[in-house]
Structure 1
Amino acid sequence: MAVFGFQQVDVFSTEPLKGNPLAVVIGADGLTDVQMAAFANWTNLSETTFLLAPTSPEADYRVRIFTPETELPFAGHPTLGTCHVWLAAGGMPKADEVVQECDIGLVRIRRDSGRLAFAAPPLRRSGAVEPEVLARIALGLGVAPEAIVASQRIENGPPWIGVMLRSRAEVLALTPDFAALSGLIIGVVAPWDPSREGRDAQFEVRAFIPGSAVTEDPVTGSLNAGIAQWLIGAGIAPPSYIASQGTTLGRAGRVHVDQIGADIWIAGAVVTCVEGTVRL
């Protein structure tokens, strides 16, 4: 048994307990795959990450990302949360941007007005959603097929399918049938009405992951990255906007999206909630 540095942080919120929690084990190179998977299963958070020495000469650090059930090649809130912990532990980037190594490749991260932002990785799969899959999604969400006004495959590691509804109220009212959605992971988005809902955000997002320990993710960086690439690319969203997520779970997540040149950056605040050591 060895002792490792440990932090639990809250991502996409300036206020503790209002974002998406992440457990981070520091200096985890000595852990086996089995130990990492077991600890992630024990934390029972949507993701747990392990900070490792990089294998790429371009990277500042390497990260492995685990859900309670499996390992992910990439995820958004673990990217920002792990970078926050690496910097807090004294990490010094080789250049202006931090470069994270993970299974999807190298991910660039920049510090932006008190927030961290990652450059959305290229989509592994995009394009139209098959009609039979879309019909199954409508059934599982409990909405009429015509309530889905747009849809897109937005796979960037996790195999997200994005669907758009007409209003924030429709998104917040969803009570999915997770059995009907088994095998799919769904991101739902709709615009805010500024006249009724204010200008704190421009879109509402929910993330549904049937069959997982966390069936609704509080605030999801990878999903918001895919949604941004889809909506901005289609001219549905402006080059800069804020997405709200986690409302129905009592959270107040805010995801800041900015297109700068060819890159789409996904930004959020990170706050440390727990700091200490873990014995594994």
Structure 2
Amino acid sequence: MTFKAPRSRPFHQVDVFSSEPYRGNPLAVVVDAEGLSGRQMQQFANWTNLSETTFLLPPTDPRADYRLRIFTGSEEFPFAGHPTLGSAHTWLESGGVPKADGFVVQECGAGLVRVKNDGGRLAFAGPPLTRFGPVDGTTRRQVAAALRRPEAEVLDASWLVNGPEWIGVLLSSAAQVRALQPDLAAMGSLKIGVIGPERDDPGIDFEVRTFIPGDAMMEDPVTGSFNAGAAHWLIGSGRAPDQYVAAQGTMLGRAGRVHVSADGGEIWVGGDSTTCIRGSVLL
């Protein structure tokens, strides 16, 4: 068996969904991942110990600008929001030139995802929901118990699956969301995102928290995929305007800001990205 020596590859760590460096959700990006196996990518993602690590590759679809593989510490995702924005930011910063004016086209497990420059802030087109609709009564009761709240306080609960299998939970206020002290063990395998309207901060429309049992993070600082699904749900049901800002990560000392807009039937999810570490990695 021939041993293949590792080579130096450009590597960035990017802070996503915050205009303040080190107050958003960090992402590791290997800029040139050609030749790496899925096993090697998974091993490196486990080592970085971040919520996600991504790998930029040449596209296989001629319409795409690049192909992206997204790994948590334990599994590969077909799509995720903050890895999409942070990877597009890194690809552009590394000299990438989009084939189409005004859009970067990312190829990933969920298909082609468009990313646009929205006044200096990147935004991705939320992929369609592959599962959408109210959860059953048993699951709703499990969700309420896991959040340690009476079931009557859960105004609505819906599947919001666009890659990750999120359940969205609507509470009556942002204060209720911030006060949650969930029982993560009671969630079982459920991934739960909770959202409530903000009435005290004029710059924020909703407060969001997302919980991922079994993940090293447990509570995610800022979650693009959940916010994309929640936008379909909230705007479609008339509970949110066509443009709004969601805060996330507050209880973790972060200042995540997710900028959501609906345009021509599409949901766009945007946020600021800042490169915090730039160098190389041996892989």
TM-score, reference length from structure 2:
0.97
Aligned pair 1:220/2:223, yes or no?
yes
Partner-residue secondary structure (3-state), 2:184: coil
Q: Which runs of 5+ in 2 are unaligned?
A: 1-5
Aligned pair 1:182/2:188, yes or no?
yes
Q: CA deviation at 1:128?
A: 0.9
Aligned residue number for residue 77 of structure 2: 72
Measure, in 2, the Cα distance between the counterparts of 1:198 and 1:69. 37
Measure, in 2, the Cα distance between the counterparts of 1:69 and 1:252. 26
Measure, in 1, the Cα distance between the counterparts of 2:196 and 2:105. 32
Aligned pair 1:161/2:167, yes or no?
yes
Q: CA deviation at 1:224?
A: 0.2
Q: Deviations over 1:44-75 (max 9, x none)?
A: 11100000000000000000000001000000
Measure, in 2, the Cα distance between the counterparts of 1:33 and 1:95. 29
Measure, in 1, the Cα distance between the counterparts of 2:228 and 2:147. 22
Partner-residue secondary structure (3-state), 1:163: strand
Aligned residue number for residue 54 of structure 1: 59
Q: CA deviation at 1:29?
A: 1.1
Q: Deviations over 1:166-218 (max 9, x none)?
A: 1111101111111100110000000001xxx2211100000100011111100
TM-score, reference length from structure 1:
0.98
Q: Deviations over 1:133-167 (max 9, x none)?
A: 01001001100000101121110000000001111
Aligned pair 1:84/2:89, yes or no?
yes
Measure, in 2, the Cα distance between the counterparts of 1:234 and 1:198. 23
Q: Deviations over 1:216-263 (max 9, x none)?
A: 100000000000000000011000000000000000000000101111
Measure, in 1, the Cα distance between the counterparts of 2:47 and 2:131. 32
Measure, in 1, the Cα distance between the counterparts of 2:30 and 2:201. 39
Superposition RMSD in Å: 0.6
Q: Aligned match of 1:30 in 31, 35, 57?
A: 35
Measure, in 2, the Cα distance between the counterparts of 1:183 and 1:264. 27
Aligned pair 1:124/2:130, yes or no?
yes
Aligned residue number for residue 202 of structure 2: 199
Partner-residue secondary structure (3-state), 1:92: coil
Measure, in 1, the Cα distance between the counterparts of 2:279 and 2:188. 37
Amino acid at match of 2:56: L
Q: CA deviation at 1:91?
A: 0.2
Aligned residue number for residue 152 of structure 1: 158
Aligned pair 1:142/2:184, yes or no?
no
Q: CA deviation at 1:113?
A: 1.2
Partner-residue secondary structure (3-state), 1:30: coil
- Following TM superposition, where does structure 1 have runs of at least 4 consecutive aligned residues deviating by more than 3 angstroms? none
Amino acid at match of 2:134: A
Aligned residue number for residue 116 of structure 2: 110
Aligned residue number for residue 235 of structure 2: 232
Q: Aligned match of 2:213 in 204, 207, 210?
A: 210
Partner-residue secondary structure (3-state), 1:278: strand
Partner-residue secondary structure (3-state), 1:29: coil
Partner-residue secondary structure (3-state), 1:171: helix
Aligned pair 1:172/2:178, yes or no?
yes
Which moved further from structure 2: 29-38 or 73-82?
A: 29-38
Measure, in 1, the Cα distance between the counterparts of 2:127 and 2:232. 10
Aligned pair 1:255/2:227, yes or no?
no
